[in-house]
Amino acid sequence: MACPPELEESLVWKLTDLGLHRHAVQHAPETPDRKQLLLWLPQPEWPEAERQQLLASLEPLAEPFGLPLPQGHWDDVADEDWSLSWKQHWQPDPVGEGLLILPAWLEVPPEHGERLVIRMDPGSAFGTGSHPTTRLCLEALEKAPPVGALVADLGCGSGVLGLAALGLGATAVVAADTDSLAVRATGDNRELNGRPADLLKVSLGSVEALQHLLEGRRADLLLCNILAPVIEALAPGFEALVAPEGRALLSGLLVDQAPRLEQVLGDLGWRVSARGSQGRWGLLEIQRR
């Protein structure tokens, strides 16, 4: 089915929550905003009635955006092919001027040989880099590389942002997520990229987990790509995580959610130093007043 950017994160989350990991979001390099969601299911276990019920369970995800769920269709795939065919739909994904998100089993294309490669295992479905909010964060990191910085990643998902930060010059990254699968995915992707565990430490938890990993220090840069209500709830803890001269990149929010979040952050002593957007999704860079 077609996968509008507004729905991508929610659809991927829901499928993963249902235990349906054999899925992929693909797009042609020249049309990154025209994406398709593909899902592979074993037919004997998923007769037509079950598949229709699955689609019905996805419909509420579109309601907050005032969108209908795109029409989907099913195709038969040979038994011997279906369990691996989902991998064929993952392609190298250039981001910004010099980053490349690369599925773990692919070689670096010659035309992207000069880019910083971040290898990912998309099977975990935690933020491979294709969602607009992840791209916003990656592009912001690239524009202001965290050279020599201590970076904290709150809600690390796949670890893609922390891995990018290391590749762009950060001295160390500490990361945390409340989902144990995300913690595992970050660890797995850290190994895929040959990064030592002491350079990218990851723990289960939230603000307190990051404080423990920071060992009394505060980060030069905080990354927080979650959702606006969660950012709002966590914001009182940012002061304990970010150094006085540090900054934070916040995404996962809709553009129309930004004004309220800016007000909340302002009341806590933060100012917005930069804004970004892709479609309906936004990013805020904040610093201490």
User: What sections of 121-202 are H helices per DSSP?
Assistant: 132-143, 160-167, 180-192
- 10 Å CB burial of residue 41 (0-12, 13-18, 19+) is middle
Distances, alpha carbon 209 to alpha carbons 137, 155, 202, 231, in Å: 22, 11, 9, 16
Do 252 and 282 contact (CB within 8 A), yes or no?
no
Measured from the Cβ of residue 49, the count of other Cβ atoms closer than 10 Å reads 8
Letter for the amino acid at 204? L
Q: Is 193 annotated as a binding residue?
A: no
Q: Is 93 annotated as a binding residue?
A: no
Do 144 and 85 contact (CB within 8 A), yes or no?
no
Do 286 and 247 contact (CB within 8 A), yes or no?
yes
Q: How far apart are CA 125 and CA 13, in angstroms?
A: 8
Q: Is 225 annotated as a binding residue?
A: yes
Q: How far apart are CA 286 and CA 262, in angstroms?
A: 9
CA atoms within 13 A on the CB side of 186: 29
Q: How far apart are CA 199 and CA 265, in angstroms?
A: 30
Distances, alpha carbon 127 to alpha carbons 17, 122, 137, 147, 158, in Å: 14, 8, 11, 23, 6
CA atoms within 13 A on the CB side of 100: 19
Q: Is 16 annotated as a binding residue?
A: no
Binding-site residues, in ranges, read 134, 155, 177, 225
Binding-site residues for S-adenosyl-L-methionine, in ranges, read 134, 155, 177, 225
